[in-house]
Copies of this chain bind each other. A is one copy, B any other.
């Protein structure tokens, strides 16, 4: 019998209870956990985790567990979700048949003098409001690029539709084997993203100690860090009908069909 865990965003607790009530009739539910709390996966043996919440909740859950995750969401689908709340019957059937697409995403490993971190979306170095513009060196095998900017975002393809997109970067399909480096508010017009192969090692050095933000969480302040592809992958289970282009179209409207006579 399939063993499940349920994570939920605390303000989605009613939706999460609805999922629990339906799931528990069919499967063994091992835990029902507020996604903002610490979680020790080793205490529970589950095959899959259901996450009730938005993309942020799924992201945080993916970082806590090594087992696959299924996103369930009210309203519109997000990048990380697979099922809407009103598709609970379909989810139960798909669980019974184990009828999913395994959407594997590769991740980043970030090393500083103090520690190592892993990122699904991105690592960001960013100055405080009170700080001067940073001088940033980005060293790769091929040479060094220099930026005079508020910061830099180094993202996976998964992260290309997150903060990097908001800064003007391209949309990368999830299975592209490349990092994207996007400057934040660069001086002197050099605002394009740089796309570099995922087998590169990136060393970033800043003229001043600044904030290091990993997947949206401030982790430390530093003036240097290194990034490479991480050997850890995360797995999102999707319905067979899933494709990335639909999620791009639904979530941000990119590449959607425009009607001939109006919107």
Contacts and interface: CB of A to CB of B under 8 A. Distances in A.
B146 A244 contact: no
B146 A258 contact: yes
B197 A176 contact: yes
A144 B138 CA distance: 35
Contacts of A188: 253, 258
Contacts of A61: none
A222 interface: no
B245 A143 contact: yes
A247 to B, nearest CB: 9
A146 B196 contact: no
Interface stretch (A1-9, A64-72, A167-175): A167-175
Interface in A232-250: 243-246, 248-249
Contacts of A49: none
Contacts of A169: 170, 192
A77 to B, nearest CB: 14
Given A170-B170, A170-B192, A194-B173, A144 B245 contact: yes
A74 to B, nearest CB: 24
Please tell me the size bucket of the interface on A: 35 or more
A200 B192 CA distance: 24
Interface in A209-263: 243-246, 248-249, 253-258, 260
Contact of A178 (B168, B178, B193): B178
A177 interface: yes
Interface of A: 135, 138, 140, 142-148, 157, 160, 165, 168-173, 175-178, 180, 187-188, 190, 192-197, 200, 243-246, 248-249, 253-258, 260
A37 to B, nearest CB: 36
B187 A172 contact: no
A172 B160 CA distance: 14
Contacts of A177: 176-178, 197
A197 B170 contact: no
A153 to B, nearest CB: 13
Contact of A142 (B145, B173, B187, B257): B173
A193 B171 contact: yes
30 contacts: A135-B258, A135-B260, A138-B255, A142-B245, A143-B245, A143-B246, A144-B245, A145-B245, A145-B249, A146-B258, A148-B258, A157-B195, A160-B195, A169-B170, A170-B170, A170-B193, A170-B195, A171-B194, A172-B195, A173-B194, A173-B196, A176-B195, A177-B177, A177-B178, A180-B195, A187-B258, A190-B254, A190-B256, A192-B254, A195-B195
